[in-house]
Structure 1
Amino acid sequence: MVSFEMNDRKSELQSYSEIGLGLTGFGIFFTFLGIIFFFDKGLLAMGNILFISGVSLSIGLKSTMQFFMKRQNFKGTISFGLGFFFVVIGWPIIGMILETYGFIVLFSGFWPTLAVFIQRIPILGWVFQLPFVRSLFDKYRGKRVPV
């Protein structure tokens, strides 16, 4: 008989990761709602807070700080931070433009991994396997960012 052993530390880390993914999903959802409701600054700010806290819980506080404080990520971190600041003070359109730029700069290394994942989804996969779409992701191939 095979016994499976699960200690408290492993289950605790797994639950933090699951909570983090949930918070990240709610952050994206609230940001989407904030954009739909004509750049509502309350929803956008809540979405940003949930997204950052979800990423922090998913990969850990230390890894999050290392990711955002890397020298090559400074431009994206500063842009995302300034965008968040502009959303909070009441300039949501300027803030979202800065946040979008920062998000693209920060997470551009993850696009190839995301493309491979999306290509395996039954309905969306054939769209991402078209030559035009694949050529968009080919320029980032080999630039994956370790977390």
Structure 2
Amino acid sequence: MIAITEWQKIGVGITGFGIFFILFGVFLYFDSVLLAFGNLLFLTGLSLIIGLRRMFFFFFQRHKLKGTGFFLGGVVIVLLRWPLLGMFLETYGFFRLFKGFFPVAFGFLGNAFNIPFLSALFQRLQGTSSMV
């Protein structure tokens, strides 16, 4: 089992608050203050979870520089109070950075039918979508 330090637990909480503020800022028609606060909390929490050195090595790998530029450029644009453009740049950078992770996530979701609670939920949803 992996040991989780207290700093990593705090980082998970801060990252969660960051995601909450980003979503809340999007729901409130791209409120620039909430988005900027969410971005800062998200990046701070991420650095506490994985550490500054690993975060630096993740973002500045040679094949991820374009995604990093768009993501961090979007953060700067949001901080400069251009929230819509900044969020578009961040979203594009996010997909560029994590494009190698998506097949793993979709593979996990494909195996979600084997999880007892989710399989019952999916079966129930499949039964109600019938048009006959």
The residue that corresponds to 1:113 in the other structure is 104
The residue that corresponds to 1:49 in the other structure is 40
The residue that corresponds to 1:61 in the other structure is 52
The residue that corresponds to 1:36 in the other structure is 27
Please state if 1:14 is matched with 2:2. Answer: no
Runs of 4+ in structure 1 deviating by more than 6 angstroms, as ranges, are none
Unaligned runs of 5+ in 2: 124-132
Root-mean-square deviation (Å): 2.3
AA matched with 2:27:
I
**TM-score, length of structure 1 as denominator length:** 0.71
Give distance in 2, aligned partners of 1:117 and 1:47.
28
Q: CA deviation at 1:126?
A: 4.8
The residue that corresponds to 1:123 in the other structure is 118
- How much identity, in percent, do the aligned residues show? 44
AA matched with 2:10:
I
Unaligned runs of 5+ in 1: 1-9, 128-147
**TM-score, length of structure 2 as denominator length:** 0.79
Q: CA deviation at 1:67?
A: 0.5
Q: CA deviation at 1:23?
A: 1.3
Give distance in 1, aligned partners of 2:122 and 2:66.
34
Give distance in 2, aligned partners of 1:26 and 1:117.
25
Aligned residues: 117
The residue that corresponds to 2:127 in the other structure is none
Deviation string for 1:99-119 (max 9, x for gaps)?
A: 000011111111133234444
Please state if 1:88 is matched with 2:83. Answer: no
Once structures 1 and 2 are overlaid, which stretch shifts more, 118-127 or 29-38? 118-127
